[in-house]
Structure 1
Amino acid sequence: MYSTLLLLHSLGRWAVLLSLLLGLVRAYRGWLGRHSFTGSDNAVRHWTATIAHGQLMLGYALYFSSPLVRAFRLRDAEHDPGALFFGLQHVLAMTLAIVVLTIGSALAKRRETDEAKFRTMALWFTAALLLIFLAIPWPFSPLASRPYFRF
């Protein structure tokens, strides 16, 4: 089960990033180009948040079944940067990123004007993307290096 969760979570990372980048492109294009907020824009806003929530749930399932996180809870993590990263930093930063994304999605849905919808979506989604970029265990990360795809 752990390896299946790990694979799904690894692949889900790309779904979140792609949907978030699509949402950002549409948001900035609409905001700066003064376009109308269409049903497609709303669908991208909605599905970006939905995909991110699914990834967060996969992440929580992985968190509670991970031997690395179990090791973090059972010993002093100061001496194991990988355990500290996954046991604390990754889960907190990603949870915060999804909260930011969710707030931005909800606020954008409720704005009155098209410009305000796009602006809200652009700013909150950008903040979420920055948090996500900081918390992903990239192959070049000094905190916890992981490959782009886990098989």
Structure 2
Amino acid sequence: MYSTILNLHSYWAFLVLAVLTIATINSIVKFVGKKEYGPKDFRLALFTIIVSHIQLLIGIILYVVSPRLSLFSELGMGGVMKDATSRLYLVEHPVINIIALVFITMGYSKHKAKLSSNAKFKTISIFYTIGLILLLSRIPWHMWLGI
């Protein structure tokens, strides 16, 4: 079960990164170009938040069924924090990615309250970019890409 959820979490992450990158670039380009906010922009922002939240749910399930979780009882919090790999998987990756999802969610929620297209694109650009940077900073690249 663990390996299935791990694979799903890894492959779904490609979708999240692709959609988030497209939504971020779209909002930046249209903000700079002073374009009108349309239904396609709304759907892209909505789809981004949906796939991101699904990834969070998959990640929470993965975290709970992970054999690494037992390291907290075996090593204690101090032991986990001393080991870079354990710290990444058990603390940094989940916490930073939840914070990233909070930024993405805030951006989506705040953009809906804006009245002008430029303000909508600016809000999405800022919050989605922060979320994307945070996500990229805590992906275990060495495991994900087989480096």
% identity of equivalent residues: 28
Deviation readout 1:13-56 (Å, 9 max, x if unpaired) = 11110000110121011101111101000000000011000001
Provide the rounded CA distance (Å) in 1 between the counterparts of 2:144 and 2:11. Answer: 11
**Residue type at the aligned position of 1:61:** I
Contact 1:19 1:48 (8 Å CA) reproduced: yes
Unaligned runs of 5+ in 2: none
Cα-Cα RMSD: 1.2
- Which residue matches 2:52? 52
Contact 1:72–1:84 at 8 Å: present in 2 too? no
Q: Distance in 2 between matches of 1:56 and 1:73?
A: 24
What is aligned with 1:127?
A: 130
Runs (5+) with no aligned partner, structure 1: 140-145
The alignment partner of 2:23 has SS state of: helix
1:120–1:78 distance in 2 versus 1, CA, 3 Å: closer
Could you say which residue in structure 2 is the equivalent of 1:83?
A: 86
Paired AA for residue 60 in structure 2: Y
Aligned equivalents of 2:58 and 2:70: distance in 1?
Answer: 17
> In structure 1, what residue type is equivalent to 2:38?
T
1:73: how far off?
Answer: 4.2
In the alignment, is residue 7 of structure 1 matched against residue 18 of structure 2? no
Greater helix proportion: 2
Separation (CA, whole Å) in 1 of partners of 2:130 and 2:90: 23
- Please point out which of 133, 144, 147 is paired with 1:147: 144
TM-score normalized by structure 1? Answer: 0.90
Instruction: Give 1:65's aligned residue.
Output: 65
Counterparts of 1:20 and 1:68, CA distance in 2: 28
Give the drift of 1:78.
3.6
- Superposition TM-score, scaled by structure 2 size: 0.92
Conservation of the 8 A alpha-carbon contact between 2:103 and 2:127: yes
Alpha-carbon shift at residue 69 of structure 1 (Å): 2.4
